[in-house]
Structure 1
Amino acid sequence: MATIRISKASVDAAMPLASGDVILWDDRIAGFGLKVTPAGLKVYIYRYRVAKPGQAAQTAPRKYTIGRHGDLTPDQARKRAQELAAMVAQGVDPRQQELDARAAREATVTLVEEQARVQRDLAFSRIAKLWLEHYKNDMARRASSVAMATLIVNRYLMPALGDTPLPHVGRSQLQPVIDSIPSHKRGIRRAVFAYSSVLWGWAMRRGYIDANPILAMEKPPAPAARERVLTDNELTRVYQAAETLHPIWAAFFKLLVLTGQRRSEVAGIMWEELDSATATWTIPAGRAKNAKAHLVPLAPVAVWLLDAQAGGATWPQRGYILTTTGRTPVSGISKAKAALDTVMSNEGPQVDAWRLHDIRRTVATGLQRLGVRFEVTEAVLNHVSGSKGGVAGVYQRHDWANEKRSALEAWAGHVERLMTGITDTNVVRMEGGR
């Protein structure tokens, strides 16, 4: 194999052959050479065999391209060949090192791109928005459940997590969110925990995360069961105070008392849910908490309240009954309750703290005290528990319609008696009671 001293003169003099590459080897540095292609391209190369210390050299030589002539001078190429020779002498494979470095660079670029994707596409703010849209579009969801989910995301989760990538959110980020809620608000703590579990479970099923961290967290204790029942005197004051409010709110609070239905169901009552001929109100499954349509017989005083809202005995065919806009159900229930409490405190002794749901419990308790059968009370409240749960719920198909009417009319009679001044006792047996 002929060798020459690779220099500017020898490189300039090197001529291509039409039959193939011409390779000129340096006479000083073994493996250092110049390759001339048939097209006249001149490239500096280095050929070598690598062996680790104490081992025989590799039998198959490897080639390393140093660079093109023009981009490098012969002296620069020689210097690089010397560096490569030193690496080989130490058992380092220059070509493999270059490949490893390239792979490392590509891995770094991939990692950076993946981190950017996670930061952009999997930010909590974005995933939470997608989940809420999915949650709202689920036809089985009640409006109150959607409202609670939205509240929890916007008021509790978003301020704490913001654009943090969802895969980076774990127990150490979620637990402080729950701990920051005052301990006496057990209900909202429990709700944040429950809705967060639903959100993260949905994200896991979509492949956004690998695990649901909520599953490894301790569930907050449930709120203590409430037992507050309004006395007849308190119920009288609630009913009378309601009469001082705007007619819409007066009707709202009175219908709560007369029907025993949930506040969201009463607030969203619509004319198309009513049948004036039979004096009944059918709460559709989509608005009922247990997703079961519910027939509520209307006592004469309740019908009178609805007549007042309609402006006469002929009821509209459709639309919200309790509304200030005509397009949406009445809102601002908490403010209305506060106004009611203010009236009550201004017109008599202080009433112990109470909630609107206590009215529903009061109706249930009042029906029992009037002698109404437990099954009928459950039917009035649209409860799927107790007498309507389990096997009994499968085979017991009686709808208690007549019994519910008798019960609610007896209860309305009790309320009317209270309004006429019978407030000295908490137990009054009404006509029609059992």
Structure 2
Amino acid sequence: MKLGKREIDAITCPPDRQDLLVFDDQLPGFALRVTKAGKKVFLFQYRFGGRVQRMVLGDYGVLTPSQARGKAEEARGRVREGRDPLGERKTAQATAIAAETSARRQKVADALTVEILIERWAGMALKDRRPAYSREAVRALRVNLPDLLPLPAAGIDHEMAQRSIDAVALDRGETMARRSHAYARALYGWAMKRRLVPTNPFAEVHTEGREVSRDRALSDAELREVWQATASLGLLFGSYFRILILTLQRRSEVAGMRWSELSPDLSTWTVPAQRSKNGRAHLVHLPEPARAILSALPRLPPALGRGGAGAEAAPSELVFSTTGTTPVSGISKAKVRLDELIHKARLKAAAEAGQAATPAAFPPWRLHDLRRTGVTTLARLGIAPHVADRLLNHVEATGIQGVAAVYQRHDFLAERQAASEAWAGHVLRLAAQDSS
């Protein structure tokens, strides 16, 4: 029987069978399968590799008998060439599916830029890290690796990563390059664990130099010079630097001090967790000299310097501010001015002493050295190391190790207050001494 339209329409499946296979008499292998439900499908049957293969050509109605016959003839031609038409179709379909899957994955990978990856990292991995670390990590990556931000994260290779870190070293110094490298390596290490990127391009990046451990502590004479020079800085910065010395707290925490964080009698200052480097609220006892400094500071209106209502506005919450709305800025410039004042004081003292030679320069120092100076001096004053560490709000107190560190929850408030008073007394005694 030749499978033509009239013949096909007349074929039905016997009621006692599930389907019926009818072969065309003129084209070997060309067949029609008719199911019990009445569905009719064109097939091509052939032998390949010692096995019978049946390849579906299409449904009757979708294909005409002539179209189906053409497909069967084309498949038979490939069989005669020693090919496997069904196997080739499966291979082509698998290739198409793989290509489509790859394209989808590539589209997703392209959409995941370095900028978006940083946002995910900040919202997931960094949410439980110290706030200060999280802020600095995100800031450093965005500021120091701007050329990488819009690029697909998975497309960053070793060469691109190395060039970016080298550029940071040239523009902002080796220390910033090392820190940016550490942040980027941590970012990609986290992304690799989540299969967001295939490799960590920063894993083998080389950075120059090494982190230098800072151990500068000011001598008593140097501390006296710093304290005395702050008197010539003006009320705002003079008070800021003196509170920094007396409390031994971090420069950013002091700069952001708010009146609401101070007790009514100014005896204590509570640094909130969101502004503390280790993410923990910290109670600071304020010795009498610190209370006197704070009492002398005026309350600023929040719109000062910005065209606002001035004195008619509610007082600013910020203790140290030039605008009333943002913490004091320009601390680094004020530090330069402080160093200049110290040098001028040395020149004046040398001239008054009749010294012809230029006095030695004040050794380089950083504001953070004040904290180390305080800890060193407190040890000399007989204050226990773990009390001094709690005074500075260090995460782990020195001298408390192992199981004791896990279970030690005592805050040593009384001891810290005594240490604060002892430190303030030491500073004022130095200030009262004759520098000559």
Give the alignment's TM-score, normalised by structure 1: 0.71
* Conservation of the 8 A alpha-carbon contact between 2:185 and 2:202: yes
Going from structure 1 to structure 2, the CA distance change for 1:359 and 1:343 (only over 3 Å counts) comes to same
Q: Aligned match of 2:213 in 190, 202, 225? A: 225
Counterpart among 170, 188, 208 of residue 196 in structure 2: 208
How far the C-alpha of 1:246 sits from its partner, in A, is: 5.4
The residue identity in structure 2 corresponding to 1:47 is F
How far 1:307 sits from its partner (Å)? Answer: 0.9
Aligned AA for 2:101? T
Bigger drift between 85-94 and 104-113 goes to 85-94
Tell me if the contact between 1:193 and 1:214 (Cα under 8 Å) persists in the aligned partners. yes
**Counterpart among 79, 94, 97 of residue 85 in structure 2:** 94
Match runs of 1:276-355 below 5 Å: 277=265, 279-291=267-279, 293-310=281-298, 319-341=317-339, 348=347, 350-355=361-366
> In structure 2, do the counterparts of structure 1 residues 293 and 16 end up closer, same or farther at CA, with 3 Å as the change threshold?
closer
Q: Pick from 385, 398, 401 the counterpart of residue 386 of structure 1.
A: 398
Residue 416 (structure 1) shift: 2.7
Work out the CA distance in 2 between the residues paired with 1:51 and 1:24. 18
Note if 1:413 corresponds to 2:431.
Answer: no
Structure 2 match to 1:115: 106
Q: Is the contact between residue 273 and residue 281 of structure 2 (CA under 8 Å) also seen in structure 1?
A: yes
Describe the SS at the equivalent of 1:256: helix
- The Cα shift of 1:201 comes to 4.7
Contact 1:320 1:328 in 2 (8 A): yes
Contact 2:256 2:320 in 1 (8 A): yes
**Contact 1:14–1:36 under 8 Å retained in 2:** no
| CA spacing shift, 1:135–1:327, aligned 2, 3 Å | farther
Question: How far off its partner does 1:148 sit?
Answer: 0.8
**Residue 258 of structure 1 contacts residue 411 of structure 1 at CA under 8 Å; is this kept in 2?**
no
TM-score (norm 2): 0.71
- 1:335–1:162 CA distance, 2 compared to 1 (3 A): farther
CA distance, structure 2, for counterparts of residue 47 and residue 368 of structure 1 = 94
For residue 131 of structure 1, what is the amino acid of its counterpart?
Answer: W
Deviates more, 1:357-366 or 1:316-325: 316-325
Equivalent residue number for residue 311 of structure 2: none
3-state SS of the aligned residue for 2:147?
Answer: helix
Aligned twin of 1:164: 152
Q: Which residue of 1 aligns with 2:138?
A: 150
SS at 2:284 equivalent: strand
- Structure 1 partner of 2:169: 182
Relative to structure 1, is the Cα distance of residues 159 and 274 closer, same or farther in structure 2, using a 3 angstrom cutoff?
same
Work out which of the residue numbers 92, 115, 131 in structure 1 matches 2:121: 131
Contact 2:299 2:315 in 1 (8 A): no
Give the deviation of 1:88 after TM superposition.
Answer: 0.9
Confirm or deny: 8 A CA contact 1:152 1:192 kept in the other structure.
yes
Which residue number corresponds to residue 431 of structure 1? none
Amino acid at match of 2:196: Y
Does residue 1:16 correspond to 2:9, yes or no? yes
CA contact (8 A) 1:32 1:78 kept: yes
Distance 1:18 1:107 in 2: 40
Contact 1:64 1:94 in 2 (8 A): no
The aligned residue for residue 47 of structure 2 is 50
Q: Please say if residues 267 and 322 of structure 1, whose CA atoms lie closer than 8 Å, have aligned partners that are also in contact.
A: yes
Matched residues in 1 for 2:280 and 2:9: separation?
Answer: 91
Give yes or no for contact 1:256–1:262 (8 Å, CA) kept in 2: yes
Deviation larger for 79-88 or 14-23: 14-23
Residue 291 of structure 1: how far off its partner (Å): 4.9
Paired residues of 2:259 and 2:318 also in contact (CA < 8 A): yes
**Counterpart code for 2:428:** G
Q: Report what 2:187 is aligned to.
A: 199
How many angstroms does 1:277 deviate by?
Answer: 3.6
CA contact (8 A) 1:345 1:351 kept: yes
- Asked whether the 8 Å contact 2:320–2:327 carries over to 1, the reply is yes
Q: Which residue of 1 aligns with 2:435?
A: 423
User: Match of 1:319, as an amino acid?
Assistant: E
RMSD: 4.6
**Which residue does the alignment assign to 2:130?**
141
Shift of 1:97: 1.7
Equivalent pair of 1:186/1:221 in contact (CA under 8 Å): yes
1:430 is matched with which residue?
A: none
- Can you list the C-alpha shifts for 1:133-191, whole angstroms capped at 9, x where unaligned? 446754x633x32331222221234433532234x446555455444443995643443
What is the identity, as a one-letter code, of the residue corresponding to 2:89? E
Shift of 1:217: 7.2
> Would the aligned equivalents of 1:281 and 1:296 in 2 still touch at CA under 8 Å?
yes
Unaligned runs of 5+ in 1: 425-434
Deviation at 1:115, TM superposition (A): 0.9
